[in-house]
Chain A
């Protein structure tokens, strides 16, 4: 490999590409050429760096200096200052919000410093489309070890000992799953990878597949050897074209190098891998449904037993693991179970990748040691909520998970502690919800999702989720009745108990947790016809408090419906017949003069009284 004086690692994740990293790359290459530095400085497009909020971003090696929010216009300055004069450009560095000083090195930025990279250890360090770069980072060493030095039982015993649990959501022991399958005799077995990341708000697997596709392949080789499978499929969402492209390329390269195909590394073991594109169905994240989809059918789950390890794809014993699970395997084999167990807790070992998004300053992809409190993730790594917003809850596990309320923010992130709150660790979607969100509406959102995605096979899920959704719709439209909450809970319990697969069994979770922690909001919606956040349009009225209004006219200027009137320096008022309830006035008012009152029609006098009561 050619060596350079400096290497620019430019993030080519989906977020950065959207904000223009490809244009920055072209500009960098052109500028380096112009200044005659093409032989000294290389530009590499890496997979997702994770710090999506600050993109496009680069890290310059060997110094490890980090530049963020680059534009094409910044490029000449970076080249001139950094690469010719050797002076890092301070204005493009990360700024510490408290100290107002620049932080040059990536490792010192809080977003990165609290993270431990294992599954994502190659992110931003290698070009995902070059197998040599993966190999240079000890790639395929573990596969070689497993194929030449270890027997199937050895691999399984290391995996069991490591305590690695499935990262797809359910958290079942990976080693145990492999052992079940290995024990079943059969000439044809399948090793399958689940890359059908369907949870809205989750993009961990996408990042792994895009930034380090070979690690998935290596994990599958090891697993395939352990269970005795010679054929494997990687099932990827068709919405992830870049991941598909990189995986396909990686498979080609691995075949060329003799790391896939017949008689790998002369070990006598053969494995053929193929990428299979999903077609957009959330239920296909469920094991048995995914296998039906691979068979080219409707992705509907089937009852268990028999379990897929006994009768899976085309009726043959099959093991299905999530992308992130496979990404953890090579390092465990290489460094041993004890190394893996160093991090995490007794029952939740190792690290977990989360996609942090929603109402948070540092949106992005993070990997943390299990067991650290949610607070560290939200406030240290995530940098807290945007200015003026208050934490209300953290949603974990997508439509199968639940909301952890603000007062439980010190809960350690482990499988067992999160379950106690009613949520689940899930596949790793972590969405921060602020106080401008209505929790009844959040529950409705998830039920709309599960209703639509229910495959329709079993009645509790197909009909039950719809009934729940309709009840929530009634409540948010102001037609909630006494006893609705009890009815919702009762139904939710039945649906959870009687549904066929994980989708239905967990579908009521968002509802149950929001009722558990935000019952008052449900009650206000039902009894007072009042949505305090102003999200449910029929359940709120925006009123300006005459005492507090300074007549700054800001709200009148911003109001898209021109519903606010008033003289300068005089209290303003809202014309309710024009108001769209868009919340703009509430958001922009600097004096807290806008209050959200119950949704019935009120006259001016009542409004005045109401705004005082509220304030």
Chain B
């Protein structure tokens, strides 16, 4: 397993036993017994996960987590505590943690929580990175789109359409920018984005596959094509493959009923697709 973990607990036995369980699994583990020490380590080093106790002398866990958030340290946080009171859990949940474990715990339970936490952080960091990169480089153009359209009546939908054309999808960060510029609540922007099927909040793959499920395609076994593509790509409808190469969407009628059933990959339309051989269409795009 890949991933780096920082363990913070005032009880050296807990730190040692965590190291003992996690290291053989291939994780990079560092253990400290004082929050101060942890803060020092974090200045120079990043971790995917930080597992911390709550009840500690000098600085306690809740304060430590607040500090982490203040410093914008991007690590995922897992809380472990022997006193799982509603209060302390609630406080930390509000601060934004990934998960928590109650002491005592079994090695397998710890491994499970850690594996899930690492996976969660991995997908989140790639997503966040993509979001920030995309929106940063295009921020200028986005501003321009908003400025030229903002005074027209009913401007929101055209702005969203043009923005999606620019960025490829409409992540939350972009929706917030639009709301701010138009001086309307974010909820109003999100309400429109989530209502119309054209607007996407997830990025699309390098190649986007659109499968028509209009009536004409449906009566010609388009659902079989969907099943075939789903199992071939190992994703659900509206999903994206792990390597981000393909995304699969279903659409309501492309208006090319004469060619039913129809699959569109990027700009190329394929008509009269044979469900059994549907995966062969993708060979050219692999």
A582 and B259: CB pair below 8 A? no
Query: Which residues in A have their C-beta under 8 angstroms from that of B260?
Result: 357-358, 363
| B198 lies within 8 A of A560 (CB) | no
**Residue A359 lies at the interface, judged by CB distance under 8 Å to chain B:** yes
Interface check B196, CB cutoff 8 A:
yes
Please tell me if the beta carbons of A281 and B195 are within 8 angstroms of each other in the complex: yes
> From residue 182 to 212 of chain A, which have CB atoms closer than 8 A to chain B?
197-203, 206
> Which of B15-23, B116-124, B152-160 forms part of the interface with chain A?
B152-160
Least CB distance from A98 to B in Å reads 23
A437 at the interface (CB under 8 A from B): yes
Task: Say whether A280 faces chain B, with CB atoms less than 8 Å apart.
Answer: yes
Other-chain residue from A239, A279, A282, A358 in contact with B215 (beta carbon distance below 8 A): A358
Is B196 a contact of A358 with CB atoms below 8 Å? no
Q: Chain B residues near A429: list those with CB within 8 A.
A: 215
Q: A200-B214, A200-B215 are known contacts. Are A295 and B154 too (CB-CB below 8 A)?
A: yes
Residues of A within 8 A of B155 (CB): 296
Contact across chains for B195 and A52 when beta carbons are under 8 A apart: no
Q: How far is the CA of A431 from the CA of B155 in the complex (A)?
A: 37
Is A355 a contact of B257 with CB atoms below 8 Å?
A: yes
The size of the chain B interface, using a CB distance under 8 A, is 37
How close is B230's CB to chain A, nearest CB, in angstroms?
15
**Contact between chains at A15 and B157 (CB < 8 Å):** no
B258 and A296 within 8 A (CB)? no
Q: CA of A206 to CA of B256 in the docked complex: distance in angstroms?
A: 10
Q: Does A116 count as interface, using CB distance less than 8 angstroms?
A: no
Contact (Cβ within 8 A) A14 B256: yes
Select which of A277, A445, A453, A584 is within 8 A of B158 by beta carbon. A277
A517 at the interface (CB under 8 A from B): no
Q: CB distance B197 to A15 under 8 Å?
A: no
Shortest CB distance A586–B (Å): 13
Docked-complex contact A357 and B255, CB < 8 angstroms: no
Is B192 close to A, CB under 8 A?
Answer: yes
**Contacts known (A294-B154, A314-B153, A358-B219); A203 close to B271, Cβ less than 8 A:** no
Check A357/B213 contact, CB under 8 A, given A281-B195, A299-B195.
no
Q: Which residue of B lies closest to A197 (CB)?
A: B255
- Name the residue in B199, B253, B256, B271 with the highest tally of chain A Cβ atoms < 10 Å from its Cβ: B253
Indicate if A245 sits at the interface (CB-CB under 8 A): no
Which one of B156, B196, B219, B275 has the greatest number of beta carbons of chain A within 10 Å?
A: B219
- CB pair A19–B271 under 8 Å, yes or no, is yes
Task: Specify the chain B residue showing the minimal Cβ separation from A15.
Answer: B258
User: A297 an interface residue at 8 Å Cβ cutoff?
Assistant: yes
Determine the chain B residues whose CB is within 8 A of the CB of A280 once the complex forms: 196-198, 252
B282 at interface by CB-CB < 8 Å: no
Partner of B153, one of A240, A279, A295: A295
Tell me which of A239, A278, A398 has the highest count of chain B C-beta atoms within 10 A of its own C-beta: A239
Chain A residues contacting B156 (CB-CB under 8 Å) are 296-297
Is A293 a contact of B216 with CB atoms below 8 Å?
no
Cβ of B204 to closest chain A Cβ, rounded Å: 15
**Which residues in A have their C-beta under 8 angstroms from that of B196?**
278-281, 299
Q: Which residues of A contact B88 (CB under 8 A)?
A: none
- Specify which chain A residues have a CB less than 8 angstroms from the CB of B47 in the assembled complex: none
Given the known interface contacts A15-B256, A53-B258, A298-B192, the answer about A431 and B219 at a Cβ–Cβ threshold of 8 Å is: yes
A330 and B102 CA atoms in complex are apart in Å by: 77
Choose one: B154, B197, B254, B255; the contact of A281 (CB below 8 Å): B197
Complex interface bits, A426-460 against B, C-beta within 8 A gives 1, otherwise 0: 00010101100100001001100100010100000
B250 to chain A minimum Cβ distance, whole angstroms, is 10
**With a CB–CB cut-off of 8 A, which chain B residues contact A101?**
none
Partner of B276, one of A203, A295, A445, A582: A582
Residues of A within 8 A of B214 (CB): 200-201
A18 within 8 A of B: yes
- Whether B195 pairs with A437 at a CB distance below 8 angstroms is no
How distant is A276 from chain B, measured CB to nearest CB, in Å?
Answer: 8
- Which residue in B154, B199, B257 is a CB contact (below 8 Å) of A296? B154
Q: CA A395 – CA B257 in complex, angstroms?
A: 14
A615 at the B interface (CB under 8 A) = no
Residues in chain B near residue A442, CB distance under 8 A? 219
| In the complex, A364 has a CB within 8 A of chain B | yes
Q: Report if A487 contacts B (CB, 8 A).
A: no
Indicate if the CB atoms of A14 and B198 lie closer than 8 Å. Answer: no
Q: Does residue B224 face the partner (Cβ distance < 8 Å to A)?
A: yes
Query: Given A293-B157, A582-B224, are A18 and B269 neighbors across the interface (CB < 8 Å)?
Result: yes
Contacts of A201 in B (CB 8 A): 214-216, 253, 257
Q: Which of A346-377 contact B (CB under 8 A)?
A: 355, 357-359, 363-364
Residues of B within 8 A of A239 (CB): 198, 251, 253-255
Cβ of B191 under 8 Å from chain A: yes
The answer to whether A206 touches B215, judged by C-beta atoms less than 8 angstroms apart, is no
B27 on the A face (CB < 8 A): no
Complex CA–CA separation, A455 to B196 (angstroms):
10
Tell me if A238 is interfacial: C-beta within 8 Å of chain B.
yes
Chain B positions within 8 Å of A560 at CB level: 276
Does B241 make an interface contact (CB < 8 A)? no
B175 within 8 A of A: no
Is there an interface contact between B160 and A279, defined as CB atoms closer than 8 Å? yes
Interface flags for B159-196 (1: CB within 8 Å of A; 0: not) read 01100000000000000000000000000000110011
Are the CB atoms of A200 and B213 closer together than 8 Å? yes
- Given the interface pairs A18-B256, A52-B258, A358-B219, the reply to whether A277 lies near B161 with Cβ below 8 Å is yes
In Å, the complex CA distance between A202 and B212 comes to 13
In the complex, what residue of chain A is closest to B195 when comparing beta carbons? Answer: A298
Beta-carbon contacts under 8 Å, A396-441 to B: 398, 429, 431, 433-434, 437
Expressed in whole angstroms, the minimum distance between the Cβ of A334 and any Cβ of chain B is 30
Q: Which B residues are in CB contact (< 8 Å) with A52?
A: 257-259
Contact with A along B21-57 (1 / 0, CB 8 A): 0000000000000000000000000000000000000
With both beta carbons as reference points, the residue of chain A lying nearest to B264 in the complex is identified as A18
Alpha-carbon separation in the docked complex, A281 to B155 (Å): 18
Decide: A200 and B192 in contact? CB cutoff 8 A.
no
Instruction: Let me know if A437 and B219 touch, CB within 8 A.
Output: yes
Q: How far is the CB of A112 from chain B (nearest CB, A)?
A: 16
CB within 8 Å of A: which B118-164 residues: 153-158, 160-161
Are the CB atoms of B254 and A19 closer together than 8 Å? Answer: no
Say how far B176's CB is from chain A's closest CB, in angstroms: 18
Q: How distant is B274 from chain A, measured CB to nearest CB, in Å? A: 11
Chain A residues in 8 Å Cβ range of B215: 200-201, 357-358, 395, 398, 429, 431, 445-446
Q: In the complex the two chains form, is B276's CB within 8 Å of A277's CB?
A: no
Show 17 A/B contacts (Cβ-Cβ < 8 Å), sorted by A.
A19-B259, A52-B259, A200-B213, A200-B216, A200-B253, A279-B160, A280-B196, A281-B196, A295-B154, A297-B156, A357-B258, A359-B219, A363-B260, A431-B215, A433-B219, A446-B215, A449-B252
Identify the 8 closest CB pairs spanning chains A and B, nearest first. A52-B258, A200-B214, A279-B196, A296-B154, A201-B215, A357-B257, A280-B198, A203-B255
> Given known contacts A358-B220, A359-B220, what 18 new A-B pairs fall within 8 Å (CB)?
A15-B259, A200-B213, A201-B214, A201-B257, A202-B255, A203-B255, A239-B253, A276-B154, A278-B196, A278-B198, A279-B198, A296-B192, A298-B195, A395-B215, A431-B216, A431-B257, A442-B219, A582-B224
Residues of B within 8 A of A (CB): 153-158, 160-161, 191-192, 195-199, 213-216, 218-220, 224, 251-260, 269, 271, 275-276
